[in-house]
Amino acid sequence: MIPGRGLARRLHDRSRRRRRRAGILMYHCITETDLDPWGICVSPAAFDEQMAVLSAARAGADLGELRDPSSFTATGSKIAVTFDDGYADNLAAALPILERHEIPATVFVIGTAVGRTREFWWDALERAVLGDLELPEELRFPFGTSRTFRIDDHPVDIAETRTWRADLDGPSCDRQQLFRDLWEAIVVLAPEEQDDAVDYLLEWAGHPVDAPAPRPALTADEFADLAAHPLITIGSHTLDHASLTDLDPAAQHRQIARGRDRIRELSGLPVTRFSFPYGRYDATAVDAVRRAGIELACTSRPVAAIADDDPLTLPRLQVLDDDGDTFARKLYDDHRLAVGALSSL
């Protein structure tokens, strides 16, 4: 990392607080959990409080409104809700709360997620490596570049590992380091290999391999119900949740175009919204998104959006499992969003 560049980026980001702006929120799962190293789960109770804040501030906006430059305002008065991946709880847990507060949302669904009965690889990896079971001292991992890992520091403090954030905290034990190393090794494997790798890891750690997924994906019927709902717009999230920056341009194009086709077939509706898996993108990926007819695409860059942003690389704010007050304070203090409304609440 180049320190000077980081500083310039931070100053540039801060200047957004004075620009006409809008917010795009990123959610994944609406569920209770006690293991969430990426901070992607928000409990239904917290989500209800967060949507109540948007509703009281009259800030809830459809992502599509951000195609209109007048949606970016000096008080950051419009905030769009989005979900990534296509978890079943988006229908069962999130939708009733969105209905109660009349908040529209965009759900970016992985093409192959619909009707998927297997756990997503990143969820299975968490359970295998950061779960309650004591791990064997050695792991021979034969996928990708074959490697052997040692896990020497037994016993680990499970309670501490439960609150560890893989994206914020450095690894403080072999188990956390193993989790990071395996994540980096698996993210670049082909989709079938990813499933085989996590089955291998679950078995190695002593978990049943074919138990039902704790965080299942939408079934085809659930997807249809979600897609037909007037508050919901479905977007695409590639065919296989591909790490686009690890693919050549032809493979990027296939993932983006086929993911769009699959979602369009399932919903019977045009697909003009997209989000980049893992927030990873480059110039050829953005070009493939444009050629696929996408009008709005979201990254995971955690800043407010401004009217000058490329509509194909819009930044998004990851929302954590915060109560309504904390959620409102972060919007207001960190991003100057819903300023007029939240200052008077």
- Interaction site with Zn ion (CB under 5 A): 84-85, 277
Nearest approach, Cβ of residue 269 and Zn ion (Å):
21
Q: Which is nearer to Zn ion, 131 or 277 (CB)?
A: 277
Reduced to 3 states, what is the DSSP secondary structure of residue 139? strand
Beta strands in 172-248 (DSSP E): 232-236
What is d(CA 74, CA 70) in angstroms, rounded to the nearest whole number? Answer: 10
Answer for the pair 264, 137: CB distance below 8 angstroms, yes or no.
no
Q: In Å, how far are 124, 136, 154, 219 from 206, measured between CA atoms?
A: 13, 9, 16, 28
Nearest approach, Cβ of residue 81 and Zn ion (Å):
16
Structure tokens at 240: 């296989």
Nearest approach, Cβ of residue 69 and Zn ion (Å):
28
- Count CB atoms within 10 A of the CB of residue 33: 16
Q: Which is nearer to Zn ion, 235 or 277 (CB)?
A: 277
Q: Which is nearer to Zn ion, 23 or 277 (CB)?
A: 277
Q: H-helix or E-strand containing 83? A: strand 79-85
Q: Which is nearer to Zn ion, 54 or 113 (CB)?
A: 113
Nearest approach, Cβ of residue 279 and Zn ion (Å):
9
Q: Which is nearer to Zn ion, 104 or 277 (CB)?
A: 277
Q: How many residues does the chain have?
A: 345
CB-based closest residue to Zn ion? 84
Q: Which is nearer to Zn ion, 118 or 207 (CB)?
A: 118
Q: In Å, how far are 73, 177, 244, 252, 313 from 280, measured between CA atoms?
A: 28, 22, 6, 11, 10
Nearest approach, Cβ of residue 280 and Zn ion (Å):
10
Nearest approach, Cβ of residue 27 and Zn ion (Å):
11
* Single-letter amino acid, residue 247: L
